[in-house]
Amino acid sequence: MTPHKELEVDIWRGAEDGHFHRFRVPYRDNQTVLDVVTWVQRHREPGLAYRFACRVGMCGSCAMAVNGRPRWTCRTHVSKVSRDGALTIAPLRNLPKIKDLVTDMTGFFEKWQKAGGRHRGTASRHDPPARVPPDSAPRRAADAGVECINCAVCYAACDVVSWMPEYLGPAALNRTWTLLNDERYDERQALLTAVSVAGGCHSCHTHGSCAEHCPVGINPTLAIAGLKRATLTGHLPGGGP
């Protein structure tokens, strides 16, 4: 990209009835989208609301829509995404806007609970730790999805969520899939019931937007396909109750 001295950055201000404000931000060779938002807040608009914590792609709090695509802003370099020195930064889709770049993630987290995303173990702290063979098929299936950090990028990318507000969404269903593959989980049959509701795993259209956008490289579409299969056959990965 040709270096520009200044970036033209359109940032969403307000809640649902807000609009974009344009800011001119100095261009740097090494600059993330989060750096741009921070610069605006420190130098132009102290009232700008946004979330971040770790700045290194671990906490999952800084996701925003950058030029229309949901991304972690801390791991997105401006040089990779700006178009002729222009950037558009908006709050994540499919979540109620609170103020500026901050969304209300309550519904997103509630859906994790609805999808059974809480560990219910077979053992207590007095039992010895379970030995799970690292190369067993269920363990590998769980490994593929377990690094999710709840950033809601997949949830914002999902068209089915935008059509059906009750759809549990890729992140919650991916979590259910990892638990279903965890032999230390006590109520795996109940997980299949939890995802067989209206707005459960069967609502997925297999578009694959979640997998396309996941910054960690998780494939929730594959996890949801696994859930669909398990609900049809009643077969639990690795056997068990």
Partner 1 sequence: MNEARLYLLQRLSAMILAPFVLVHLGLVIYAVRGGLSAAEILSRTQGSLFWMLFYGLFVVAVAVHAPIGLRNVLREWTPWRGQGLDWSLTAFACLLLVLGLRAVAAVVL
Binding residues for partner 1 (CB under 8 A): 160, 163-164, 192-193, 196-198, 200, 202-203, 228, 231-232
* Minimum separation from the CB atom of position 207 to partner 1 (A): 13
Whichever of 91 and 170 has its CB closer to partner 1, that residue is 170
* Minimum separation from the CB atom of position 192 to partner 1 (A): 8
Whichever of 44 and 202 has its CB closer to partner 1, that residue is 202
- Give the whole-angstrom CA distance, residue 147 versus residue 58: 10
* Minimum separation from the CB atom of position 141 to partner 1 (A): 19
Q: What angle do CA 8, 159, 219 make, to 5 degrees?
A: 95
Nearest to 171 by CA among 230, 225, 96, 117: 117
Whichever of 80 and 193 has its CB closer to partner 1, that residue is 193
Whichever of 175 and 228 has its CB closer to partner 1, that residue is 228
* Minimum separation from the CB atom of position 229 to partner 1 (A): 10
- Give the whole-angstrom CA distance, residue 148 versus residue 151: 8
Q: What angle do CA 47, 35, 218 make, to 5 degrees?
A: 110
Helix (H) or strand (E) holding 99: strand 97-99
